[in-house]
Amino acid sequence: MKLKLTRIEEPFVLELQNEAGNTCVMDANPAIGGKGLGFRPMELLAGSLAGCAAIDVINILKKQRVEPSHFSIEINANRKEEIPSPFETIHLIFHFDQSVNLDKVNKIIEMTLQKYCSVSASLKQEIEITYVAKLI
């Protein structure tokens, strides 16, 4: 994997680009001079966990011929109040429509976070990752 990070505006507006040319804008917290023009790095980290889990969960459901008409994940993350301020917890709330069996999807989520999700595997030594699945 190769990524390129470039400052596109002072003081902290950054553009992250991958090998395919896709971009994501990042910025710092306004408390230190950020302009609110992009995601903060820690937001991207928590979002990456949710994105990785989502891809794995959807892929497993597809293999089981289950294709929910609604799927989303809420992310609630808490950080330590010190420098550095790493995550203490990341809580994922999975939302599915009524076509999904909640017991089955809970097993899939557990398996995803414990076995398949590379981001979870990268973080789980330091961060408690929890989840809940909800039907809407």
Between helices 102-111 and 41-63, what is the axis angle to 10°?
120
Whole-angstrom Cα distance, residue 45 to residue 106? Answer: 23
Indicate the domain borders of the chain. Answer: 3-32, 41-135
Phi/psi for 64 (5° steps) reads: -90, 10
Q: Judge contact between 89 and 124, C-beta under 8 A.
A: no
What does the pLDDT look like over 2-61, one tens digit per residue?
999 999 999 999 999 999 999 999 999 999 999 999 999 999 999 999 999 999 999 999
Global confidence as pTM = 0.88
Architecture of domain 41-135 in CATH?
2-Layer Sandwich (3.30)
